Structure 1
Amino acid sequence: MKNIYLVFTGLILLAYAVMPASAFTMKSLSITIAGNGDADVDISYDLSFVEQTAVFFRLADPAAQLQSAFDDGGSRKVTVTRATSSSAHVMIPSFATVTPANSKQTWEATPPVSFEHARAVLNTYWFAPLVSPDFSPAVTTITFPDGYAVNYYDQISIPSVTHLMSG
C-alpha cells in the first residue's frame, strides 16, 4: 500500500512538473428562469489534472462545493442534480423574485451572483497552491420564460437583472 502511495505521489509531482499550472476554468454559466422564479442552472467547466485527481479520489466534491456556492443560507433548498468533472446542473427554487406589475405583466428580478466565495473555498484545499482557478465564466446567459436573454462575458460577479414579463 505504501508503494502505491509513493508511486501515485511521484506521478502527480511528475505531471505537475511537465504540465502548465492550469486549474478550474469556468467555461459557461446558463441560468434559465421559470415563471415562478425557480432557476435551472447549467455550468460547464474544465478541471486541471490535480483537480481531476482530487475528485477521483474523493478529496474534493464538486457537487458539495456548487451547493455551497449557490446556497444563500436561507430556507430555499438548492439541489445539485448532476456534477461531473466537466459540468453540473443545479436547481434553485425561488431564485428570482416575481412581482406583479399589473393584471397582465410581472417583474422578474434575479439576485446578483458572485463566485468570489468559491475562490475562497477552493483556497482551503491542499492543492490550492498548485492551481490558479478562473471562476469568471467565458459566457453567462440569463434566460427568462418569455425568451428574453442577457449575456455577460468573463465576469466573476453578475449583477441583478430585472425584466418585465408580459402575460
Structure 2
Amino acid sequence: MKRVYLILACLCLLAFAVMPAQAFTAKSLTVTLAPNGDAQINMQYDLNFLEKSAVFFRMADPATEVKKAFASNTGREVTVNSVTDSSADIVVPSYAGVTRNNGATTLTTPAISFLRAQEVLKRYWFAPLVSANFAPQVTTITFPDGYQETFINSLSMPAVSHTMSV
C-alpha cells in the first residue's frame, strides 16, 4: 500500500513539474485622462505564489515592469504612485495628444501594446514553465467628459481619439 502512495505522489509531483504554472495575469487596465492629456493609469493583476514571494522579498518589482511598458509605449516619463502585489497606479504626463479647433478639444491616446512584454518573457530560461497573460481582461479609457472606450482581452489597443465640445 505504501508503494501505491509513493507512486501516486511521484506522479502528482511530476505532473506539477511538467504543467505550466499560471503566472502574471492582467485583470484590468484603466486609463483616466485629464483635459491636458495627462493620464492616471491603474493596472489590476494576479500573481502566482512564487511571484508574490518574489515581490515580498523584493526580488521582483511589478511597478518597474509596468513603468517600463508605458514608458516604452509613450516615450514619456512615468511616475509610479503606488504598487501592491495586485495593482499598480502610475501617472503619465502628456499621455494623450491634445488639439483644439473651433471650441472643440480632441484627445488622442497612443496605441498600447503588451506584445513586447510577452516577447521579453520568452527569452528567460523559465519561460516554458509559466503561462503569463499580459492581455488585460478589460481595458477602459475614460475621457474628461465621461466618454469611454473599452477593449476586452486585447494584447494591443489602437490609438483612440475623442472630440469634446466646450
Q: TM-score under structure 1 normalisation?
A: 0.82
Which consecutive unaligned segments of at least 5 residues does structure 2 have?
1-12
Alignment length (residue pairs): 153
Question: Against the structure 1 CA distance between its residues 26 and 76, is the aligned structure 2 distance closer, same or farther, given a 3 Å change threshold?
Answer: same
Q: Structure 1 62/80 Cα, relative in aligned 2: closer, same or farther at 3 Å?
A: same
Percent of aligned positions with the same letter in both sequences? 54
Larger radius of gyration between Structure 1 and Structure 2: 2
- Name the structure 1 match of 2:152: 153
Bigger mean CA deviation after superposition, 106-115 or 57-66: 57-66
Offset at 1:79?
0.7
- SS in structure 2 at match of 1:64: helix
**What stretches of structure 1 of length at least 5 have no aligned partner?**
1-12
1:129 and 1:136 mapped to 2: Cα distance? 18
The 5-angstrom pairing of residues 79-158 of structure 1 reads 79-102=79-102, 104-125=103-124, 127-158=126-157
CA contact (8 A) 1:97 1:109 kept: yes
Q: Which has the higher strand share?
A: 2
Higher mean displacement: 59-68 or 87-96: 59-68
With the length of structure 2 as denominator, give the TM-score of the two structures.
Answer: 0.83
In 2: Cα distance, 1:114 partner to 1:73 partner: 7
State how 1:50-61 maps to structure 2 within 5 Å: 50-61=50-61
Over the residues paired in the alignment, what is the CA RMSD in angstroms? Answer: 2.3
State the alpha-carbon separation in 2 of the partners of residues 142 and 155 from structure 1: 13
Given that 1:50 and 1:127 are in contact with CA atoms closer than 8 Å, whether structure 2 keeps it comes out as no
